[in-house]
Amino acid sequence: MPTRYAQRMAKVQPSAIGELLALGADPSIISFGGGYPDATLFPAAQLDAVFHEIIQKPGGASMQYAPSNGLPRLRDQIAGLMTADGMSCTADDVLILQGSQQGLDFAARMLIDPGDVIITEDPTFLGALIAFEPSQPRYAVVPVDAEGMQTDRLEAILTANPRAKMIYTVPDFQNPTGVTLSLARRKQLIALANRYDLIVLEDTPYRHIRFTGENLPTLKSLDTEGRVIHLCSFSKVLVPGLRIGWAVASPDILACMGLLKVAADTQTSTLNMAAASLFLDRYDLAAHIATLRAAYSAKKEAMLDAIRQHLPQDITATDPEGGLFTWLTFSEGFDTTDFMRRVALPQARVAYVPGATFFPLTPRANHARLNFSSPSLDAIRTGIAALGKALYANH
């Protein structure tokens, strides 16, 4: 019996490269594909201790239902972290989410009617497009260069798209390119959002994993009109399995997202919120993040060294100041999806994410996203050398 699905499901389709990425999960393949943190650096012993402690605590509060907008203590701790990052706020300004991914879903559901326009970077985070798609948006895209979204192109795009309601950006160490939005462009983006009455969805899961350079102010800290929804997450700096992210936004927006939270899942797991909260009380998150920074920075250097040494000279790689990814650009006409299927997986035994999938409107085939946080240093060197060999053999 054919099911009469709602229209919003029309574009909710499995990823065209899902089958290719599934092949990358084969343990005999070196994967630069997923956006995974390094599991060997998970603070497992500390999490073991905090989970034990919260479960043993008399009264069973950590196993009980909790307020839908999050445990008050955790909201307060997160407000402290956000305030330290230049976004002065209190617990009331924080909504705990099931990962920042849930904030992407809520933002679209809250703001987008079918046919409304979401402006994104080009390329952008695939998971955001997946979250936005059920709201049936149209997209307008802004190209990205070494300083992030080219905001000088934004005004023309806004004039051409009067139904633009929201602009989605990953300003720090963007997924997939690794680039960071410059300060001048941050200011220009906020000025245009004010002028064109846009909500800015600022997604910052990598922000605290900076290797070099100075921290730039968040868009939220530059927000004068309550237009920025700031999303952040413990996924990359603690563990993704906790599924804890949060939104900081103006009271009316946060209240609206809070209603969607009740509808979606009532609340984020009490156990996981209580564990995260006790972790912050007992241990030094900043010190843990410093360890991650050092490790990922060394891995990035190893990957870029190997790329310089082994890949054909016409292939360029971004040199991110933080985060988890570098972005390769091959010569025009090179198709990274086809190469992965025919050569990289079966011969080089290496996986990456073909770049075409990150472009909302017009896929460009000559890019690839490489993750350096998850593979070991050895795997990075071996994998890039194998990729280089395969590229020379098939160039």
Nearest to 72 by CA among 236, 270, 252: 270
Cβ atoms of 68 and 190 within 8 Å: the answer is no
Structure tokens at 56: 């043993």
Residue whose CB is less far from ligand PLP, 67 or 127:
127
Nearest approach in angstroms of CB 334 to ligand PLP is: 25
Site string for ligand PLP, 16-55 (x = CB under 6 A): -------------------x--------------------
- Which listed residue (136, 233, 337, 371) binds ligand PLP by CB under 6 A? 233
Nearest approach in angstroms of CB 197 to ligand PLP is: 25
Q: How many CB atoms lie within 10 A of CB 200?
A: 23
Residue whose CB is less far from ligand PLP, 173 or 339:
173
Residue whose CB is less far from ligand PLP, 125 or 296:
125
- Which listed residue (69, 235, 277, 371) binds ligand PLP by CB under 6 A? 235
Q: Which of residues 161-190 bind ligand PLP (CB under 6 A)?
A: 170, 175
Give the interface segment with ligand PLP, choosing from 93-101, 285-293, 337-345, 372-380 (CB under 6 A): 93-101
Q: How many CB atoms lie within 10 A of CB 320?
A: 27
Give the interface segment with ligand PLP, choosing from 24-32, 52-60, 97-105, 350-358 (CB under 6 A): 97-105
Nearest approach in angstroms of CB 191 to ligand PLP is: 24
- Per rule CB under 6 A, count of chain residues that contact ligand PLP: 14
- Whether cis (ω within 30° of 0) applies to the bond prior to 43 is no
Nearest approach in angstroms of CB 12 to ligand PLP is: 18
Cβ atoms of 282 and 276 within 8 Å: the answer is no
- Which listed residue (101, 151, 297, 373) binds ligand PLP by CB under 6 A? 101
Residue whose CB is less far from ligand PLP, 126 or 365:
126
70 belongs to the binding site for ligand PLP (CB under 6 A): no
Residue whose CB is less far from ligand PLP, 70 or 388:
70
Structure tokens at 365: 């085939």
Residue nearest to ligand PLP according to CB distances in the complex = 99
Residue whose CB is less far from ligand PLP, 42 or 315:
42
Cβ atoms of 35 and 163 within 8 Å: the answer is no
Cβ atoms of 177 and 146 within 8 Å: the answer is no
Residue whose CB is less far from ligand PLP, 94 or 391:
94
Q: Is 284 left (phi over 0), alpha (psi -120 to 50) or beta?
A: beta
User: What single letter denotes the amino acid at residue 377?
Assistant: L
Nearest approach in angstroms of CB 74 to ligand PLP is: 15
Cβ atoms of 210 and 221 within 8 Å: the answer is no
Give the interface segment with ligand PLP, choosing from 38-46, 212-220, 232-240, 273-281 (CB under 6 A): 232-240
Distance in angstroms (rounded) separating the CA atoms of residues 142 and 82: 28
Q: Is 60 left (phi over 0), alpha (psi -120 to 50) or beta?
A: left
Structure tokens at 163: 């139904």
237 belongs to the binding site for ligand PLP (CB under 6 A): no
State CA 66 to chain mean position distance.
27
Residues 6+ apart with CB under 8 A from 267: 65, 66, 67, 68, 69, 70, 96, 261
132 belongs to the binding site for ligand PLP (CB under 6 A): no
Distance in angstroms (rounded) separating the CA atoms of residues 32 and 261: 33
Residue whose CB is less far from ligand PLP, 172 or 223:
172
DSSP 15: -
203 belongs to the binding site for ligand PLP (CB under 6 A): yes
Question: What is the pairing mode between strands 316-317 and 199-203?
Answer: unpaired
Q: How many CB atoms lie within 10 A of CB 187?
A: 14
Binding interface with ligand PLP (CB under 6 A)? 35, 99-101, 125, 127, 170, 175, 203, 205, 233, 235, 240, 245
